[in-house]
Amino acid sequence: PWSHARIGTEARYVAMASDDPWARRRSVRLDEIPNRVLAIDRRTGTTALDLWPEQGRPTVEFTQDIDDWLAAIATGRRVGLTPQATAAQYRRDGITYRPLRGAEPVSVHLIWRARTTHPAIRNAIALATGLYREDRPVRRSRD
């Protein structure tokens, strides 16, 4: 039993091999993704095929974790979709991230055990929500 609160949203990004032709672009459109093989992390991934109409979905290769996902993308034969936080936290040689246009942002939730009665929970939710509301500068990739 868990409780949660939505604290914000993050833009989606496309992860690709750094030598991929898309890596030279500023952004990629959602409707371009079905032309590629899409890597999806089964355990922690935020990408679902309902982003596309049933007849226009990409071919998918499922991976087991973030490292497996990144390795699949680095081969150049797959791309991935991910929230902005992944692009910031999982920088890897050989991987480039570009903003994805035409897709709804990913909802970010704070989760805690439902039976927790700690008095700071409300303050933690307010703090996290406030951090997501701030105008934070977007870090530009040097790739």
Q: For residue 24, give the CATH number of its domain.
A: 3.40.190.10
SS3 76: coil
Over residues 91-128, the pLDDT tens digits come to 889 999 999 999 999 999 999 888 888 889 889 999 99
**In-domain check, residue 63:** yes
Band of residue 134 on the pLDDT scale cut at 50, 70, 90: low
What's the total number of domains in the chain?
A: 1
**In-domain check, residue 139:** no
**In-domain check, residue 55:** yes
**In-domain check, residue 42:** yes
Q: Are 18 and 98 within 8 A, CB to CB? A: no
Domain interval for residue 67: 10-105
Over residues 21-74, the pLDDT tens digits come to 999 999 999 999 999 999 999 888 889 999 999 999 999 999 999 999 999 999
Going by C-beta distance under 8 Å and a sequence separation of 6 or more, which residues neighbour residue 100? 11, 12, 13, 14, 27, 28, 29, 30, 33, 81
Model pTM score: 0.84
